[in-house]
Chains A and B, each alone.
Chain A
Amino acid sequence: AQSVTQLDSHVSVSEGTPVLLRCNYSSSYSPSLFWYVQHPNKGLQLLLKYTSAATLVKGINGFEAEFKKSETSFHLTKPSAHMSDAAEYFCVVSPRNQFYFGTGTSLTVIP
Protein backbone atom coordinates (compact mmCIF):
# COMPACT_ATOMS: atom_id res chain seq x y z
CA ALA A 1 0.00 0.00 0.00
CA GLN A 2 1.08 3.53 -0.68
CA SER A 3 0.63 6.53 1.54
CA VAL A 4 2.06 9.92 2.27
CA THR A 5 2.02 11.65 5.64
CA GLN A 6 2.75 15.32 5.99
CA LEU A 7 3.43 15.69 9.66
CA ASP A 8 2.41 19.33 10.02
CA SER A 9 -0.78 20.82 8.64
CA HIS A 10 0.47 24.35 9.36
CA VAL A 11 3.97 25.78 9.68
CA SER A 12 4.70 29.37 10.56
CA VAL A 13 8.17 30.92 10.21
CA SER A 14 9.62 34.40 10.27
CA GLU A 15 10.98 35.87 7.08
CA GLY A 16 14.66 35.03 6.73
CA THR A 17 14.55 31.96 8.97
CA PRO A 18 14.82 28.32 7.82
CA VAL A 19 11.86 26.33 6.58
CA LEU A 20 11.31 22.63 7.29
CA LEU A 21 8.25 20.83 5.92
CA ARG A 22 8.14 17.18 6.87
CA CYS A 23 6.98 14.25 4.76
CA ASN A 24 7.03 10.52 5.41
CA TYR A 25 5.91 7.92 2.95
CA SER A 26 5.24 4.24 2.62
CA SER A 27 5.36 2.35 -0.64
CA SER A 28 5.44 -1.23 -1.84
CA TYR A 29 7.72 -0.20 -4.69
CA SER A 30 10.73 2.05 -5.03
CA PRO A 31 8.88 5.29 -5.51
CA SER A 32 9.52 8.60 -7.08
CA LEU A 33 8.85 11.51 -4.76
CA PHE A 34 7.82 15.06 -5.48
CA TRP A 35 7.08 18.32 -3.76
CA TYR A 36 4.50 20.63 -5.30
CA VAL A 37 3.49 24.11 -4.24
CA GLN A 38 0.05 25.65 -4.64
CA HIS A 39 -0.38 29.38 -4.25
CA PRO A 40 -3.87 30.71 -3.57
CA ASN A 41 -6.17 30.31 -6.56
CA LYS A 42 -3.34 28.85 -8.62
CA GLY A 43 -2.53 25.41 -9.97
CA LEU A 44 0.12 23.05 -8.72
CA GLN A 45 3.73 23.86 -9.48
CA LEU A 46 6.56 21.36 -9.25
CA LEU A 47 9.26 22.34 -6.78
CA LEU A 48 11.49 19.30 -7.07
CA LYS A 49 11.51 15.56 -7.57
CA TYR A 50 13.49 12.51 -6.51
CA THR A 51 13.79 9.64 -8.97
CA SER A 52 16.46 7.30 -7.54
CA ALA A 53 19.46 9.42 -8.43
CA ALA A 54 21.11 11.74 -5.90
CA THR A 55 19.43 11.65 -2.50
CA LEU A 56 19.74 15.41 -2.02
CA VAL A 57 17.55 17.10 -4.56
CA LYS A 58 17.67 20.78 -5.38
CA GLY A 59 14.57 22.51 -6.66
CA ILE A 60 13.38 25.91 -7.66
CA ASN A 61 13.32 29.01 -5.45
CA GLY A 62 16.07 27.71 -3.16
CA PHE A 63 14.19 24.64 -1.92
CA GLU A 64 15.88 21.30 -1.30
CA ALA A 65 14.73 17.89 -0.16
CA GLU A 66 16.65 14.88 1.08
CA PHE A 67 15.50 11.34 0.44
CA LYS A 68 16.25 9.11 3.45
CA LYS A 69 15.27 5.55 2.70
CA SER A 70 16.02 4.29 6.21
CA GLU A 71 13.63 6.87 7.65
CA THR A 72 11.19 6.76 4.71
CA SER A 73 11.29 10.52 4.71
CA PHE A 74 11.52 13.26 2.12
CA HIS A 75 11.56 16.52 4.07
CA LEU A 76 11.56 19.86 2.27
CA THR A 77 13.89 22.62 3.44
CA LYS A 78 14.88 26.14 2.57
CA PRO A 79 17.63 28.09 4.39
CA SER A 80 15.82 31.43 4.42
CA ALA A 81 12.08 31.98 4.02
CA HIS A 82 10.74 34.69 1.77
CA MET A 83 7.29 36.24 1.93
CA SER A 84 6.51 34.81 -1.50
CA ASP A 85 6.99 31.28 -0.09
CA ALA A 86 3.67 31.49 1.73
CA ALA A 87 1.55 28.77 0.11
CA GLU A 88 0.29 25.20 0.43
CA TYR A 89 2.91 22.48 -0.08
CA PHE A 90 2.17 18.93 -1.10
CA CYS A 91 4.40 15.89 -0.86
CA VAL A 92 3.61 13.30 -3.52
CA VAL A 93 4.69 9.67 -3.87
CA SER A 94 4.49 7.84 -7.17
CA PRO A 95 5.28 4.13 -6.99
CA ARG A 96 3.69 3.31 -10.31
CA ASN A 97 1.36 5.10 -12.69
CA GLN A 98 -0.51 6.81 -9.87
CA PHE A 99 0.34 9.80 -7.76
CA TYR A 100 -0.58 9.93 -4.08
CA PHE A 101 -0.76 13.33 -2.45
CA GLY A 102 -0.23 14.18 1.18
CA THR A 103 -2.79 16.33 2.94
CA GLY A 104 -0.68 19.42 2.50
CA THR A 105 1.21 21.82 4.75
CA SER A 106 0.20 25.45 4.82
CA LEU A 107 3.27 27.68 5.18
CA THR A 108 2.86 31.12 6.69
CA VAL A 109 5.75 33.58 6.56
CA ILE A 110 5.71 36.32 9.15
CA PRO A 111 7.34 39.62 8.18
Chain B
Amino acid sequence: EPEVTQTPSHQVTQMGQEVILRCVPISNHLYFYWYRQILGQKVEFLVSFYNNEISEKSEIFDDQFSVERPDGSNFTLKIRSTKLEDSAMYFCASTRRASGIKGGTDTQYFGPGTRLTVL
Protein backbone atom coordinates (compact mmCIF):
# COMPACT_ATOMS: atom_id res chain seq x y z
CA GLU B 1 0.00 0.00 0.00
CA PRO B 2 1.39 3.43 -0.87
CA GLU B 3 2.47 5.54 2.05
CA VAL B 4 3.81 8.97 2.92
CA THR B 5 7.45 8.98 3.94
CA GLN B 6 9.41 11.57 5.89
CA THR B 7 13.09 12.18 6.44
CA PRO B 8 14.89 12.43 8.72
CA SER B 9 13.07 10.65 11.54
CA HIS B 10 14.90 12.81 14.08
CA GLN B 11 16.64 16.15 13.55
CA VAL B 12 18.67 17.94 16.19
CA THR B 13 19.68 21.52 15.54
CA GLN B 14 21.01 24.59 17.32
CA MET B 15 18.76 27.56 17.93
CA GLY B 16 18.96 30.01 15.05
CA GLN B 17 19.89 27.40 12.47
CA GLU B 18 17.84 26.61 9.40
CA VAL B 19 16.27 23.17 9.01
CA ILE B 20 14.55 21.50 6.11
CA LEU B 21 12.14 18.67 6.76
CA ARG B 22 11.41 16.42 3.84
CA CYS B 23 8.33 14.51 2.83
CA VAL B 24 7.45 12.29 -0.10
CA PRO B 25 3.65 12.26 -0.49
CA ILE B 26 1.73 9.47 -2.14
CA SER B 27 2.43 9.70 -5.83
CA ASN B 28 -1.03 10.47 -7.24
CA HIS B 29 -1.98 12.89 -4.47
CA LEU B 30 -2.38 16.56 -5.23
CA TYR B 31 -2.78 18.24 -1.84
CA PHE B 32 -0.09 18.36 0.78
CA TYR B 33 -0.08 19.42 4.41
CA TRP B 34 2.23 20.02 7.32
CA TYR B 35 1.26 19.68 10.97
CA ARG B 36 3.17 19.85 14.18
CA GLN B 37 2.65 18.26 17.57
CA ILE B 38 4.49 19.73 20.51
CA LEU B 39 5.15 17.07 23.13
CA GLY B 40 2.03 16.43 25.17
CA GLN B 41 -0.12 18.76 23.10
CA LYS B 42 -2.55 18.35 20.25
CA VAL B 43 -1.75 18.14 16.57
CA GLU B 44 -1.81 21.61 15.00
CA PHE B 45 -2.36 22.46 11.36
CA LEU B 46 0.40 24.53 9.78
CA VAL B 47 -0.20 24.76 6.05
CA SER B 48 -1.80 23.17 3.02
CA PHE B 49 -0.34 23.30 -0.47
CA TYR B 50 -1.81 22.73 -3.91
CA ASN B 51 -0.69 23.46 -7.44
CA ASN B 52 2.64 24.88 -6.26
CA GLU B 53 1.18 27.41 -3.91
CA ILE B 54 -0.06 27.68 -0.37
CA SER B 55 -3.78 27.00 -0.13
CA GLU B 56 -4.37 27.65 3.56
CA LYS B 57 -2.13 28.45 6.50
CA SER B 58 -2.58 28.84 10.22
CA GLU B 59 -1.40 31.59 12.54
CA ILE B 60 1.54 29.41 13.50
CA PHE B 61 2.87 29.47 9.94
CA ASP B 62 4.66 32.81 10.10
CA ASP B 63 7.47 34.24 8.01
CA GLN B 64 10.06 31.89 9.41
CA PHE B 65 8.29 28.95 7.77
CA SER B 66 8.15 28.15 4.08
CA VAL B 67 7.10 25.18 1.98
CA GLU B 68 8.20 24.02 -1.41
CA ARG B 69 7.69 21.23 -3.88
CA PRO B 70 11.10 21.31 -5.51
CA ASP B 71 10.43 18.40 -7.83
CA GLY B 72 7.67 15.98 -8.69
CA SER B 73 7.99 13.91 -5.55
CA ASN B 74 9.30 15.90 -2.57
CA PHE B 75 7.46 18.37 -0.36
CA THR B 76 9.58 20.30 2.09
CA LEU B 77 9.08 22.46 5.17
CA LYS B 78 11.83 24.97 5.90
CA ILE B 79 12.26 26.74 9.20
CA ARG B 80 14.65 29.64 8.63
CA SER B 81 15.84 30.42 12.13
CA THR B 82 14.76 27.80 14.61
CA LYS B 83 13.61 28.66 18.11
CA LEU B 84 13.44 26.45 21.16
CA GLU B 85 9.66 26.40 20.88
CA ASP B 86 9.88 24.87 17.40
CA SER B 87 10.83 21.58 19.04
CA ALA B 88 8.01 19.24 18.08
CA MET B 89 7.01 16.31 15.94
CA TYR B 90 6.27 17.47 12.42
CA PHE B 91 3.86 15.42 10.33
CA CYS B 92 3.40 15.60 6.60
CA ALA B 93 0.13 14.46 5.02
CA SER B 94 -1.34 14.22 1.57
CA THR B 95 -4.75 13.77 -0.03
CA ARG B 96 -5.80 13.00 -3.52
CA ARG B 97 -8.12 15.97 -3.57
CA ALA B 98 -9.13 18.80 -1.24
CA SER B 99 -11.97 19.15 1.20
CA GLY B 100 -15.06 21.00 0.08
CA ILE B 101 -15.33 18.89 -3.04
CA LYS B 102 -18.78 17.37 -3.39
CA GLY B 103 -18.71 14.06 -1.60
CA GLY B 104 -16.74 15.32 1.31
CA THR B 105 -13.18 15.59 2.37
CA ASP B 106 -10.73 13.11 1.03
CA THR B 107 -8.76 11.05 3.51
CA GLN B 108 -5.46 12.43 4.72
CA TYR B 109 -2.60 9.98 4.82
CA PHE B 110 0.07 10.89 7.33
CA GLY B 111 3.76 10.20 7.36
CA PRO B 112 5.48 8.82 10.46
CA GLY B 113 6.77 12.26 11.45
CA THR B 114 10.09 14.00 12.00
CA ARG B 115 11.02 14.78 15.57
CA LEU B 116 12.74 18.17 15.63
CA THR B 117 14.79 19.04 18.68
CA VAL B 118 16.11 22.59 18.95
CA LEU B 119 18.89 23.07 21.50
Contacts and interface: CB of A to CB of B under 8 A. Distances in A.
Interface of A: 29, 31-32, 34, 36, 42-46, 49-53, 90, 94-104
B104 A43 contact: no
A97 B95 CA distance: 10
Contacts of A49: 104-105, 107
Residue from B33, B100, B111, B112 having most chain A Cβ neighbours under 10 A = B100
Q: Which bucket holds chain B's interface residue count?
A: 20 to 34
Secondary structure of the A contact surface, majority rule: loop
B11 interface: no
A3 to B, nearest CB: 11
Given A43-B113, A97-B31, A97-B55, A102 B42 contact: yes
A23 to B, nearest CB: 13
A101 B58 CA distance: 13
B110 A43 contact: yes
A52 B104 contact: yes
